[in-house]
Structure 1
Amino acid sequence: MSLFLLRGVTMDELKILNNGTTVIFEEVPKSETVSIGVYVKTGTATEGEYPEGIAHFVEHMLFKGSSKYTRQQLSTEFDKIGGYNNAYTTKMYTCYFCKTLKRFERKATDLLLDMVKNPLFLEEEIAREKKVILEEIKMIEDTPEEWLMDKLENEIYKDQPLGRMILGSPESLNKINKETLTAFHKSHYQSNRLVVSVAGSFSEALKEEIMSQLNDNQNEAINEIDQKMTFTETKQTYYKNELEQTHFMRSYAAPSYNDTYYYATNILNTILGETMSSKLFQVLREEHALCYNVYSDFQSFQENGLLTIYVATDKENVEPSSKLITEVLKSLLENGISQEELDDAKSHIITSFLMASESNQNKMTRNARSMMFHDELITNEKFESKVNNVQLEDIKKATQFLLQAPYSEFILTEK
């Protein structure tokens, strides 16, 4: 089995197989647990011509039977080892993971790898799972905040890969069958799309076993979807019955995760609306009492990103809230922030990151996402250095970038 070293990372941390599979190990010697994640570099935005929501449908189906295990056996065996296992689909990738005791490391690995690489896609399970996902769609429709966020991305990136709904729609689900699922899995779950991340306490034997199971000849060329998306400026109002509050979102075009101002925008987002001392919280809630819930969120993709501000309030408070949001942003650009405010925001981000890094599951996730997004491992030290290198002028430029960028507004209110 041939492996090679990448960018000075030790062999104990990062291995890349000849078929393109990336395997990352981070040992935590005194830990009693191990977290194992299989990340597939395919999500809703990479579905191409397949029915909308098929990436998420495949995620569900991988728990419904594999070459070694039936649906019931997968559930029983995961429960038997007391493992916490789950999966989720994003726009850019899909993740399958398990956390368990070190003594069950090999069983957990075998379960995960077999379900990911060798699913059965049984007809009766497909029919059943369609009903389950339809109920999941209804659940989102009953959650105003999540529903509005889905609509926001759908409209901002209308008719583009990032605009596709993760769950799909009842209409797109009807187009999914055994043939489409099998074809999608074959083309999008190739070995060179896999990143396997392990963190915690594990044996040398586990490392060899994982690489042995992953070392196959599935190394076909990947037809990447163009991720350069056009941001659509729009204002939309939607109506639903029996809402106690009106939900308001404003979303700005923002930097990608490899952009020069990625870290500055992260800090700007913290200053804007991530904490109780943030500008939006203090102005909209504490000073003007316009709402209970207000926050900002920054998410990045390969070529672009979104910074979204959310407010839940009474209908008559939407317009004054929107005006205050604009005033807060303009004030940030015109008056800037103090060095103390910048240092406090850095402290909050670094502390949150380092505290999360104490969890094996978060280590596993961080390492996988680092390789998928940045093609390198972002260590605690590197992250802290990147954040600390941001200066006041960078925050000003990030704010200027945001205010010059297009934005869209969305309202969900009662009829």
Structure 2
Amino acid sequence: MINKYTLDNGLRIVAEKIDYVKSASIGIWVKVGSNNEDNDTNGLSHFIEHMLFKGTENRKANKIAEDIDNIGGQINAFTSKEYTCFYVKVLDENINDAVDVLSDMFFNSLFQQEEIEKEISVVIEEIKMYEDSPEDVVHDKITEIVFDKSPMAYSILGTEKNLRTFNTKKVIDFMRKNYSPYNTVMAIAGNFDEENFIELIKDKFEHWQNENASLIYMDGEYERKIIGVNKELEQLHMCIGNKTIGRHDPYYYPLLVLNNIFGGTMSSRIFQEVREKKGLVYSIYSFVSNYTNSGIFSIYAGMSYDQVEDALRTIFKEMTSMKNGNITLEEFNRAKQQIKGNYILGLESTSSRMSSIGRRELIYDEVVYPEDIIKSINDVKYEDVLKITNDLFDINKLSITYTGNLNKHKDLDDKINKILGEDYES
């Protein structure tokens, strides 16, 4: 049973009791991510996530870590385009201690300028780490294209230029403007006394008063582009992408089935055709990232420079084949079973259960049970998958980003454009 409560200040609590475990996962979910930023504040959501671990009025940074380690728990946080989450997983006997640490970080962080300067250096190193990952580079570039002229195109990490402008006032002002009980959810899953937990959250959070944060979702203006990034690499790394639907679209689950068939697993079309049968790549897969009102469908592949043409042609031929209705019932049914299996296996831990109920309440204002998800997957019709395939696999609308040694291979743009212009219907 998943229960929902709302405090007088607007903070929502979602709780799922799981009697047979001896742990609980607790998360504070705030509807603030890079989509709430502008040119000057880009990267602040993620930076604040870091700063909440850097010391409070009651605990130094090392004391936060020690207090969680002393009770055998795990604490962490992450930022996305649409939300930030601070979470902890502990034994059921240590829930009070865990909430005390989380609430202390949330309300009493000091944001000292000295610590801000140190953390700026840390995040700059994080940015450099991502820039050294060609897979991340092409993923970021395809996101920039799909959500062009929208905050959704911003990097979650921000830029080095922006980071160097961050100070105590900027951090505190951003939190006051964007952090509100009205756009925050406290989620718990595991073994706990529900009545005691609600009273605990009231004690720690009910004093929080802030006006409803004004969160505006801005979608991007998608226009097909081909962008190359020069890096001296042994392989060419590529993303092929198209804009797609949001999480509440009626074709969301058919899209998941399509992705599974096309490139979501080792039995998928492009894995079998491009890697297993032709040996053109080592890594290849497709994936979908769905947000409130839109999303990205993308294919990633890493290949030798002399394999680019064969790999692209094979991918486009498989797209065209599926677009023309060449999807077997065996593929269709297997995909649905795999999605159901992955979903249920993903709910085997209290952390994933807490994440599921917290994120869904925060972003979609709804409580959904696993059996509802399974029903939605089961209800996907073969014709629905064909419909979304026909909409998505329009080669004339595909954008491509790639990174590799462009100085040595100057003709890549010409090759890609040539392949895009070929006839795959015959």
TM-score grouping bracket, smaller chain normalisation? over 0.9
Is 1:220 the equivalent of 2:215?
A: no
Distance of 1:400 and 1:48 partners within structure 2: 35
The amino acid of 1:413's aligned partner reads: G
The amino acid of 2:230's aligned partner reads: Y
Q: 2:100 aligns with which of 90, 96, 110?
A: 110
The amino acid of 1:240's aligned partner reads: K
Q: 1:73 maps to what in 2?
A: 63
Distance of 2:333 and 2:178 partners within structure 1: 43
Equivalenced residue count is: 404
Distance of 1:29 and 1:122 partners within structure 2: 42
Deviations 1:238-257 (A, max 9, x none): 1112x221101101111100
Q: 2:78 aligns with which of 88, 92, 102?
A: 88
Q: 1:237 maps to what in 2?
A: 228
Distance of 2:56 and 2:30 partners within structure 1: 17
The amino acid of 1:18's aligned partner reads: D
SS for the counterpart of 1:292 is: strand
Identity of aligned pairs, percent? 32
1:199–1:360 Cα contact (<8 Å) kept: yes
Spell out the pairing of 1:111-260 with structure 2 (5 A cutoff): 111-203=101-193, 204-216=195-207, 218-241=209-232, 243-260=233-250
1:229–1:303 Cα contact (<8 Å) kept: no
Distance of 1:183 and 1:377 partners within structure 2: 32
Q: 2:336 maps to what in 1?
A: 346
Point out 4+ residue stretches in structure 1 off by more than 6 angstroms: none
Q: 1:44 maps to what in 2?
A: 34
Distance of 2:212 and 2:166 partners within structure 1: 24
1:51–1:175 Cα contact (<8 Å) kept: no
SS for the counterpart of 1:133 is: helix
Q: 1:299 maps to what in 2?
A: 289
Q: Which moved more, 1:194-203 or 1:109-118?
A: 109-118
SS for the counterpart of 1:26 is: strand
Shift of residue 226, structure 1, vs aligned partner: 3.0
2:286–2:299 Cα contact (<8 Å) kept: yes
Shift of residue 227, structure 1, vs aligned partner: 2.6
Distance of 2:42 and 2:384 partners within structure 1: 39
Distance of 2:164 and 2:41 partners within structure 1: 9
1:336–1:396 Cα contact (<8 Å) kept: no
The amino acid of 1:165's aligned partner reads: S
TM-score by length of 1: 0.94
Distance of 1:37 and 1:96 partners within structure 2: 6
2:178–2:214 Cα contact (<8 Å) kept: no
Distance of 1:244 and 1:103 partners within structure 2: 52
Spell out the pairing of 1:25-64 with structure 2 (5 A cutoff): 25-48=15-38, 50-64=40-54
Shift of residue 159, structure 1, vs aligned partner: 3.3
Q: 2:384 maps to what in 1?
A: 394
SS for the counterpart of 2:324 is: helix
Structure 2, unmatched stretches of 5+, are 408-426
The amino acid of 2:344's aligned partner reads: L
Q: 2:414 maps to what in 1?
A: none
Q: 1:4 maps to what in 2?
A: none
Distance of 1:410 and 1:173 partners within structure 2: 26
Q: 2:403 aligns with which of 403, 406, 412?
A: 412
Distance of 1:211 and 1:348 partners within structure 2: 41
Shift of residue 219, structure 1, vs aligned partner: 4.0
1:229–1:304 Cα contact (<8 Å) kept: no
Shift of residue 51, structure 1, vs aligned partner: 2.0
